[in-house]
Structure 1
Amino acid sequence: MAQETTQAPPSARTAPARALLPFILPAVVVGVAASLLFVGVSTAAEQLQRVLWGPLPDALGVGRWSVLWMFVMLTATGIAVGLVVWKVPGHAGPDPATLGLNAPVLPPAVLPSLLLATGLMLAGGPSLGPENPIIAANVSLAAWLGGRLMPRTPGTLWPVLAESATIGALFGTPVAAALVISEALAGQPLRGRLWDNLFAPLTAGACGAMTTTLVSHPTFDLGLPPMGHPRGTDLLAALVIASVAAVLGMCAVYAFPYVHAAFRRLRHPMLMLPAGGVLLGGLAALGGHLTLFKGLSELGQLARDPEGWSAGEFATMTVVKLAALLVAASCGFRGGRIFPAVFVGTALGLTAHALVPAVHPSLGVATGVLGVLLAITRQGWVSLFTAAVLVASPAILALLCIASLPAWLLVTGRPQMQLHEDGTPVR
């Protein structure tokens, strides 16, 4: 009787160095260029924001954070972005509700209007971040220029490099880019080892992150007090807060197609966007000025004084910011959903701390952000990474990993906060 043998499947072969070296130069160029575009748009928007929300209302004798000025500015931003979408060539690209982090390659003629609409949105106050349109612009520019300047380089490489570079620039570290790309590669057949496939994207992400760090010195650490050795009650709090945050985020996800359909019935950007601005002005009146904009600098104000607001005030900011994110993403403003979702999770975590002082503020913030991001982005690694970076407390890492499990069970397999062209949610 012949002896049966079981042969293990061959492992993926490691690529030789000479196969990876040609990708270094394109990755470096894309990384630096993507970061400079992000910093340029962000800086221009910040300068415009300082004028619109500082000297201009002061000169008019109106309080810069008064209900009147917030209402006027958000409505005016809706009109301005509506004009760009209506009249400027390219019309600011496709419906932003149909876009995620994996952006399509757009024609170069679309990009000026897309970047203009993004800058106006960032300066005017709607609750969206720069990530989606900046990724789309960098992906399109890299694919268009790379295909002409280096035609022998595989065309599929340029979007991956641009996305990695932009994510590295946005978060100030290439780790986020590596996590996103590795998650995207998880369901695809790989040629060679995973690290070989990550070599060029990681190079682009590192260059993008380093360029942003040298130019604008970003930081995500909120400066919250570090957490000591975890206890059993901390584990229970982490599980509860992350799960509640995931459920809250899913409320916005389920409402997204209906709110988007309501705005689409208006049929014209000069109706949809101003109407969205009016609603955002009303929400700002309820939640206050901290619920405006993408939310990063406002997060710092909350973190500097976690005891400065009551549980009711934190809860109000949580609900208002989530509603503002839902409206801004539905009515046609060009922007991403990660940064405002981080604000929602932070405010929710501080609500938990205000209700139960035994909940450490760092634990509340980290687990709140984790749950909301899992629901809004469906990006597990990015959610864990962002939650951990915000509090910079190594003791929380194990709790975050455990808390992510029930939160993921609540969101996986359900609709995402992204729509198909026909308005149905992506799953």
Structure 2
Amino acid sequence: MPGMNGQEAPTVAGLLRLSVPAILVGAVSALSLFLVEETAHLLEHVLWVDLPGLFGLDPDSGWWIFAVLSVTGLAVGAVCTFVPGRGGRDSATVELLAPPLPLSAVPGLLLASLLVLAGGVSLGPESPIIAINTAILVALTVRFWPRIEVKLVVLMTGAGTIGALFGTPVAAALVLTGVVAAAAGGGALWDRLFLPLLAAATGSLTMRMLDGPQFGPTGIEPLGAPQPSDLLLGAVVACAAALIILAGAAVFTPLHASFRRLRSPLLYTTLGGVLLGGLGALGGPVTLFKGGQQMADLIRDAGDLTTTELLLIVAVKLCALLVAATAGFRGGRIFPATFLGATVGLVAQSLLPELPLSLALACGVLGAVLAESRDGWIALFIAVVVVGDISVLAVLCLVVLPVWLLVMGAPKMLVRAEE
């Protein structure tokens, strides 16, 4: 059987035999993501529509936002304290692809993730859903296909889930090239990407059939033929967005340690919820949740906002991301970083109206996602997906180079070891 440890090169027969498991892994990854997000949407409707309607309250009021996020913090803290598995690993301490969790940790992680997604916390689903899918699919594979290496299942599951999350199997495959190349000792790289790409394509197509793209429609005018000045302006916007994320990364580990001084997740996650409530009341509904639909709403309504108001949204969202990620909430940081990058692009466009909107948004997203993920492929593809304009890709491929030089040696939003 083809493995990922470099001991034997994949064969045609081996790839064909494993194609069915790869397709199943991709489909199950997408279906799992869909079910989690649909359940979260139902709970979100209860918290932000049904309950305030029952009491005749405005769900966009600062008091309601403060109350919901504070209670969400308490609820997530209770899950991480009392539920078996303690809600899985602290999201601040793990990369997207991590060793599989025991199945006993999945219910707690699932419950914590649903609370985060529905409660308006500024984190995305990518980190917990990959962990949930990996735990489940590794357990199923060990049971039904014991000859398939766990490492390969982890790669296929990560690829399938990333494909479902970001709507492009190519991005998922490219994200894994570094991992696969490091493990490959024989055979062509594409031999070893065959199964992850198959899982990613299946996950992407399954999710699109079930729920459409993760980012809301923006209706942005295409860039068209780029101008020489676009390279300089785009690099400035991208570097500005990256610097904002790097500023957050510089305080990430100290902030994480500060919350852990309270020792109990019930205490520090509740405190985080209270702080998020205050930030949400200050920034308004657009600064809540993972940021996909909120980003589309902000782009649509940006003409009604001043530069100062957009800067306030950037500041609030960055603080919300930092608090949510370090105070014990379970969730990923790519979606909020995407929102931040797009908002930086809107700030740039408000200061320089001649700057094309699609370029400003794409470069802002590129810089923020690259600084958060340190993965140029996923930053490029998310930037293109957000604006829906392939004509920006050539500019982005050059803009990414100075941004990479800026971020390559800088701190990352990641705590290297549990406190």
Same fold by TM-score, threshold 0.5 exceeded? Answer: yes
- The letter of the residue matching 1:330 is T
Residue 397 (structure 1) aligned with residue 393 (structure 2) = yes
CA distance in 2, matches of 1:22, 1:246: 43
1:311-365 per-residue CA deviation (whole Å, 9 max, x = no partner) reads 1111111111111101000000000000011000011100110111011111111
Residue 334 (structure 1) aligned with residue 330 (structure 2) = yes
- The letter of the residue matching 2:100 is V
1:33-61 per-residue CA deviation (whole Å, 9 max, x = no partner) reads 11111110100000110111012112112
Deviation at 1:17, TM superposition (A): 2.0
Residue in structure 1 matched with residue 137 of structure 2 by the alignment: 142
Q: 2:85 aligns with which of 77, 84, 90?
A: 90
1:92-139 per-residue CA deviation (whole Å, 9 max, x = no partner) reads 112221111112211100001100100011000110000001001111
Residue in structure 2 matched with residue 373 of structure 1 by the alignment: 369
Unaligned segments of structure 2, at least 5 residues = 1-7
Residue 18 (structure 1) aligned with residue 18 (structure 2) = no
Greater Rg by CA: 1
Distance 1:53 1:387, change over 3 A: same
CA distance in 2, matches of 1:47, 1:143: 29
Residue in structure 2 matched with residue 288 of structure 1 by the alignment: 284
Q: 1:126 aligns with which of 118, 121, 124?
A: 121
1:231-288 per-residue CA deviation (whole Å, 9 max, x = no partner) reads 1222221011111111111001111001101100010011111100111111112211
Residue in structure 2 matched with residue 270 of structure 1 by the alignment: 266
- The letter of the residue matching 1:281 is G
- Matching of residues 126-275 of structure 1 within 5 Å: 126-218=121-213, 220=215, 221-275=217-271
8 A Cα contact 1:306 1:361, kept in partner:
no
Distance 1:14 1:271, change over 3 A: closer
CA distance in 1, matches of 2:37, 2:354: 38
- Matching of residues 102-121 of structure 1 within 5 Å: 102-121=97-116
Residue in structure 2 matched with residue 42 of structure 1 by the alignment: 37
Secondary structure, counterpart of 2:182 in structure 1: coil
CA distance in 2, matches of 1:100, 1:29: 24
Q: Which runs of 4+ in 1 moved over 3 A?
A: 13-16, 186-190
Q: 1:315 aligns with which of 295, 311, 315?
A: 311
Secondary structure, counterpart of 2:150 in structure 1: coil
Deviation at 1:19, TM superposition (A): 2.6
CA distance in 2, matches of 1:422, 1:34: 28
Deviation at 1:393, TM superposition (A): 2.0
8 A Cα contact 1:349 1:368, kept in partner:
yes
CA distance in 2, matches of 1:68, 1:17: 61
Question: Percent identity at matched positions?
Answer: 46
- Is 218-227 or 366-375 further displaced after alignment? 218-227
Residue in structure 2 matched with residue 31 of structure 1 by the alignment: 26
CA distance in 2, matches of 1:335, 1:398: 32
CA distance in 2, matches of 1:252, 1:187: 30
8 A Cα contact 2:165 2:214, kept in partner:
no
Unaligned segments of structure 1, at least 5 residues = 1-12
Secondary structure, counterpart of 1:156 in structure 2: helix
Distance 1:106 1:350, change over 3 A: same
Residue 382 (structure 1) aligned with residue 382 (structure 2) = no
CA distance in 2, matches of 1:106, 1:395: 41
8 A Cα contact 1:248 1:372, kept in partner:
yes
Secondary structure, counterpart of 2:302 in structure 1: coil
- Aligned pair count reads 411
What's the RMSD between the two structures over aligned residues? Answer: 1.4
- The letter of the residue matching 1:392 is G
